[in-house]
Structure 1
Amino acid sequence: MLISRFLRSSLTLSLLGSTLLVLAPSCTDDTDDLSLKNQETITFPNTETKQALYPEGVQFDAQNNYFVVSSESFGTIGRVTDYGTYEPFINDTSLISSVGLSIDRTRPRLLVAVSDPGYNTARSTPRTLRKTARVVIFNSTTGVRTNYLALDKIFRPGQPHFANDIALDGSGNAYVTDSYSPVIYRINTQSAFSLFKQDTLFAPSGPGIIGLNGIAYNAKGYVVTVKSDTGVLFKIPVNTNGTGGDVTKVTTDQDLTGGDGLLFQGDSTLLVVLNKQNKVVRLHSTDNWATATTTGTFTTPDAYPTTLARRTDQEPYVLYSHLNALQSNQQPPVVKFTIQKVRF
């Protein structure tokens, strides 16, 4: 009788174990469950479309768990989920070509660099064409416009301007590059703007050439910016009165021609997107960015990568913009774009 009970118990446990094996989900490192692991490659829009968005800027909205992208061809700000679902978020008439983006997570604000390279024929005018450097600020949750800042009015109005990228410091002040003029603007938290730094070192090498491009703020109290046409990396300290200090060149072992988006990972590591070289490089500095050496390279497809988004401290994503197709008026245009996790 004891043997019989033992056999029945063993049989019951065996059947229960089999059932658990069938019902238990697979939890390996290769899982595709997005609730357990962030998607590595996000292609958008995930529906059939003929709309060539040509996004240049990307940010991750951690509060709402989606990416935000710009559009040089339409100006529209869109939202992108991990599944590649794209939906228009902001379609404001002030957005001729939306370029760089920055999300201020503590306020909440979405700052948009706006220019007019001539790609949005519905909104481009002779008055704005290649003469526009503005930042338009929206509530990052509702999309309501809260401010419109015409930065080009305080430096050579009517001359070449192209607002490109935006960096925020820890207090919420913004620093904005102008690719067609040798200046960096500063916007304080009350939306008052001024010239942060003007220097002939920032001047582009010719008309219509992209000079200053990506910019990033370092918590030690300075900004770093890259000049695309020459591949030079500059460091500019932030003075206590909010102006820029002396400009110094960062000596590197890397060709940074085509330098675009920048992203600090801590104080000593900087990621640099090289759009024409189709790669992202990781630089490390041991002397507070007097010099830097390459510690990693992430090669992309031939997709003209532009900017980076920080999903978590250790999860940078790069945007494949295909802007070279827009610049060359490629037909048919590119209609699918990618946000890709960067792994070195």
Structure 2
Amino acid sequence: MLQLHSRAFFGRLAAVFGAALLLTACSDDDAEDSSPALPSTVAFTQAGLYPEGVQYDATGNRFLVSSQTRGAVGQVKDDGTYTQFADDAVLVSTIGMRVDESRNRLLVAVSDPGYNPARTSAATQRKLAGLAIFNLTSGQRTAYVNLGGLRPTQNHFANDIAVDDQGNAYITDSFAPIIYKVDAQGTATVFLEDAQLGAPAGAFGLNGLAYHPGGFLLVAKSNEGALFKVPLAAPASLTRVTLPQALTGADGLLLQDNTTLQVVTNAQAKVYRLASTDNWATATISGTFSTPPQYPTTLARRQGADSYVLYSNLNALQANQNPPVSVFTIARVTF
């Protein structure tokens, strides 16, 4: 009898411990489920905004978007709320942007493709290339640099921006075969000018670029679907990255890690993930994300390796679509 009672006692004891473990496990699961999940898409309504650039400001928990038609920079929350972040008379059309968190600034490429009727002019249309810098907290403009003035006889379109560890900014020009450099003190120079980076009149040449901590830039050339590696110490010794296929319409770039690069191709409505094992002498395609035919342009990094692509619908703007597009989407990229 004693043996039977002991077995019953230990059986009940085991059941109690089992229930406790189950509750603990459920509690852990609930804690994991309660952590906020990243949204798969963020849609916001701003009729005719036509943003080309997007960045994520982790401190402010917001996306920042540019506008070819208004010039102003906006901020977008995960619930789709859009408010203006910064505006200035020099912002004819805002294109690519770069959040520089360590220096609490937002760098904005400024051009004039003629889509902002309130600010375009004969003096600036297809001739403007500028860099505007804003305080990331207040939205106040702290600097403006006229880049096109370095080559006043050429057409210009400042497109995208990369920032190195020292705070130097590099800006591509889609209408001239030029990459500009603006140092941390605001002095602008022509970092690289090379005929092979040019494009036929009316076509977009240089576009997205990314800074690699190995001491070089990776730069996209849209009309050829090419990718170039440009050493910071000797930019004239640039080389073409060997790719398995042309990335036609290559636009925004995002360096996921030292051996992985994401490339938006608006002409193909895709984001390609490239991998390199030889320090970007060559690269292979390791993943593809297909987007709706809404003219994706560029990427924003959010929470580590996660990236979001902007559906700009610039093709509708270029076609003078009426009514204009009202809803724009920022979508999480999954390969």
Alignment TM-score, normalising by the size of structure 1: 0.88
Match of 2:94 in 1: 98
* 2:189 corresponds to 1:194: yes
Matched residue SS, 2:315: helix
Match of 1:3 in 2: none
Contact 2:48 2:324 in 1 (8 A): yes
RMSD: 2.3
Match of 1:87 in 2: 83
After TM superposition, give the deviation of residue 214 of structure 1 in Å: 0.3
Contact 1:52 1:73 in 2 (8 A): yes
Q: 1:136 aligns with which of 118, 132, 138?
A: 132
Equivalent residues in 2 for 1:1-344 (5 A)?
27=30, 36-45=36-45, 51-155=47-151, 157-204=152-199, 206-239=200-233, 244-344=235-335
After TM superposition, give the deviation of residue 159 of structure 1 in Å: 2.4
After TM superposition, give the deviation of residue 325 of structure 1 in Å: 0.4
Contact 2:54 2:97 in 1 (8 A): yes
Contact 1:114 1:163 in 2 (8 A): yes
Partners of 2:154 and 2:239 lie apart in 1 by 27
Contact 1:254 1:293 in 2 (8 A): no
Matched residue SS, 1:251: coil
The number of residue pairs the alignment matches comes to: 318
Partners of 2:147 and 2:295 lie apart in 1 by 28
After TM superposition, give the deviation of residue 25 of structure 1 in Å: 12
Partners of 1:334 and 1:276 lie apart in 2 by 19
- Percent identical residues: 52
Contact 1:136 1:145 in 2 (8 A): yes
Partners of 1:318 and 1:248 lie apart in 2 by 27
Matched residue SS, 2:148: helix
1:273-313 deviation digits (Å, cap 9, x = unpaired): 00110000000001111100000000000110001000122
Match of 1:4 in 2: none
Matched residue SS, 2:154: coil
Amino acid corresponding to residue 81 of structure 2 in structure 1: T
Matched residue SS, 2:258: coil
Contact 1:214 1:262 in 2 (8 A): yes
1:246-278 deviation digits (Å, cap 9, x = unpaired): 110000113211000001111111000001100
Partners of 1:153 and 1:164 lie apart in 2 by 16
1:207-261 deviation digits (Å, cap 9, x = unpaired): 121100000010000001011001111110011xxx6241100001132110000
- Stretches of 4+ aligned residues off by more than 6 angstroms: none
Instruction: List alignment gaps of at least 5 residues for structure 1.
Output: 1-12
Contact 1:115 1:130 in 2 (8 A): yes
After TM superposition, give the deviation of residue 28 of structure 1 in Å: 9.3
Amino acid corresponding to residue 52 of structure 1 in structure 2: G
Matched residue SS, 1:326: helix
1:89-148 deviation digits (Å, cap 9, x = unpaired): 112111000000001101111100000000001100000000000001110110111101
Instruction: List alignment gaps of at least 5 residues for structure 2.
Output: 1-15
Matched residue SS, 1:339: strand
Structure 1 residues 158 and 122, CA gap change in structure 2 (3 angstroms): farther
Contact 1:238 1:245 in 2 (8 A): no
Partners of 1:255 and 1:90 lie apart in 2 by 37
Matched residue SS, 2:102: coil
Partners of 1:251 and 1:307 lie apart in 2 by 22
Contact 2:219 2:227 in 1 (8 A): yes
- Structure with greater proportional helix content: 2
Structure 1 residues 25 and 247, CA gap change in structure 2 (3 angstroms): closer
Amino acid corresponding to residue 273 of structure 1 in structure 2: V
Partners of 2:304 and 2:104 lie apart in 1 by 20
